[in-house]
Chain A
Amino acid sequence: MANIIDTLGRLGQTSGFFGLFSDWRQIVMIVIACILLYLGLVKKFEPLLLVGIAFGMLLTNLPFGNMYNPELWDLYIANGTNVAALSPELQAFIAEHGFVFADGIVNLTFTELIHAGGLLDIMYIGVKIGLYPSLIFMGVGAMTDFGPLLANPKSLLLGAAAQLGIFVAFLLAIVIGFPANVAASIGIIGGADGPTAIWLTSKLAPDYLAPIAIAAYSYMALIPMIQPPVMKALTTKEMRETKMEQLRPVSKTQKVLFPIIVTIFTCLLLPSVAPLLGCLMLGNLFKESGVTDRLSDTAQNALMNIVTIFLATSVGATARYDRFLNFQTLAIIVLGLLAFEFATCGGLLLGRIMYRVTGGKINPLIGSAGVSAVPMAARVSQKVGQEANPSNFLLMHAMGPNVAGVIGSAVAAGFLLAVFGG
């Protein structure tokens, strides 16, 4: 009888319910994960990503599951460091898992990491080495039509101006007191491009991956609410009513040569941007070449879907209660919103200048689409333009700055990595 009671007691202590009440923050995180699931499933806020992120968050905060161990990744990052120089928590983690490092120097390999880690640690390897964001970019490239950009190359200027949000948020993060690498990762939220934000943050500030990814994707979903007030405040009704001329036709040769030439020149200019831009342009070449339809189809459907599952779940898993619930997360959420607003301002202000310079031929509203968030931001330009003038069709004109914004945010990420990547 005593044995049975003892067994039941031990069973109770190893149960997740027992562990759940050891730290109240776990319960808070489970509630947050459920709220995010609600937003994704019911409110349809970027559901393809948010559902995976929220579920990963849920899994990582269920006690005793050991599906994701951030300490392992801290050790991996600490490779080459003396064990004695590590934090007491990490030293305790090494002792608990029985890691033995030659000469007391941390040397954790992926093999050891896979043996000691949980399922989500294994998935996270793809984030850590930058594989998933690059593959997602390949799919994005296979789905993107650069025709509007080729028809109106001036759109690139608007895509560049809308990167203002990245650098304003970076500056604000510096003012608040974030280190440079974290400030750069926060700033990239203003690029309104989830894979770029994840790619840069996993390299510069992996501890902040969850709040930055969640902020980036949440605000992308909220663009129809975030942008219109700024668009209306920074333009006059006369400007919003401007009808633009029909775009010139673009030949197939131009569409095929574009990804090749852009890859050569941009990657020569900024080699650190090669993984993202290279994959984006490869995907686009699959689409435009006309001889690799099967590859294009795989990149934009099967591959994209598989990678999205891995990416979203493993990014959500990084939101463990002891690393997510703090003032910094709140600051990142606020800075992310400001980054989006300033990005919109940047595009609109240059749009206004172009409106003046061209004698009213360019509708400044297409500038706000330069924030990336393809094609949501372009749709918002179309909607606000049509509110001012029902016969206004800005969608295709806005797609130019929109895809230029994708290139612009990738270049900005490459710059930040080159400067703060150490």
Chain B
Amino acid sequence: MEVTSTGPALAISKLTFGEGVLYAILGMLVVFFALVLIMAIIKILIKVTDKKKAEPALAAEAPVEVPAEPVKRDDPAPGSAGDIKLYTTDPKDAAMIMAIVADALGKPLNELRFKSIREIKE
């Protein structure tokens, strides 16, 4: 198929298949290089900011030598607590309602138990 652009002033060049393959490989390499660079930047950013956050905490703890005490960790609660029954309620709406309730109570969603959600139609 012969294709030409009607735009008169654009530099129109035809590439051979081999040239096209080279440009495609080069393009993928550039994309990977750019995103790997961003990945490296993010990793450095995380290390630097996490380290800064940890430093004041360590400084505060340093003067007092407290015998080793089991550290209380906020392990995430198991995924869900029981099943929820939905009556004439869309799962998406139910998810939104549960998120709003959790936010209003200031509790993580997985520490709350919802038994049922029912839409009341007037």
| Interface of A toward B, CB cutoff 8 Å | 74, 77-81, 86-87, 90, 149-150, 153-154, 156-157, 159-160, 163-164, 166-168, 170-171, 174-183, 204-208, 246, 251, 253-254, 257-258, 261-262, 265-266, 269-270, 323, 327-328, 331, 391, 404, 407-408, 411-412, 415-416, 419-420, 422
Extra pairs beyond A77-B8, A170-B27 (10, CB < 8 Å) = A87-B8, A156-B38, A157-B39, A170-B24, A251-B50, A251-B53, A262-B38, A266-B38, A408-B31, A408-B34
Please determine whether B10 and A176 come into contact, CB atoms closer than 8 angstroms. Answer: no
Nearest-neighbor residue (CB-CB) of A266 within chain B = B34
Tell me, yes or no, whether B68 is within 8 Å of chain A by CB: no
Q: Which residues of chain B from 2 to 39 have any CB-CB distance to chain A below 8 Å in the complex?
A: 2-15, 17, 20-21, 23-28, 30-39
Query: Secondary structure of the A side of the interface?
Result: helix
Please determine whether B39 and A171 come into contact, CB atoms closer than 8 angstroms. Answer: no
| Interface of B toward A, CB cutoff 8 Å | 1-15, 17, 20-21, 23-28, 30-39, 41-43, 45-46, 49-50, 53, 76, 79
Question: In the complex, which residues of chain B have a beta carbon less than 8 angstroms from the beta carbon of A254?
Answer: 45-46, 49
A330–B41 Cα distance when bound, in Å, is 42
Question: In the complex, which residues of chain B have a beta carbon less than 8 angstroms from the beta carbon of A404?
Answer: 35
A402–B14 Cα distance when bound, in Å, is 33
Other-chain residue from B9, B42, B43 in contact with A80 (beta carbon distance below 8 A): B9
Other-chain residue from B14, B30, B34, B50 in contact with A180 (beta carbon distance below 8 A): B14
A86–B14 Cα distance when bound, in Å, is 21
A81–B24 Cα distance when bound, in Å, is 32
Please determine whether B31 and A411 come into contact, CB atoms closer than 8 angstroms. Answer: yes
Question: In the complex, which residues of chain A have a beta carbon less than 8 angstroms from the beta carbon of B15?
Answer: 174, 180, 183
Question: In the complex, which residues of chain B have a beta carbon less than 8 angstroms from the beta carbon of A179?
Answer: 3-5, 12-14
Please determine whether A207 and B45 come into contact, CB atoms closer than 8 angstroms. Answer: no
A177-B2, A270-B30, A391-B79 as given contacts; A261 in contact with B7, CB under 8 Å:
no
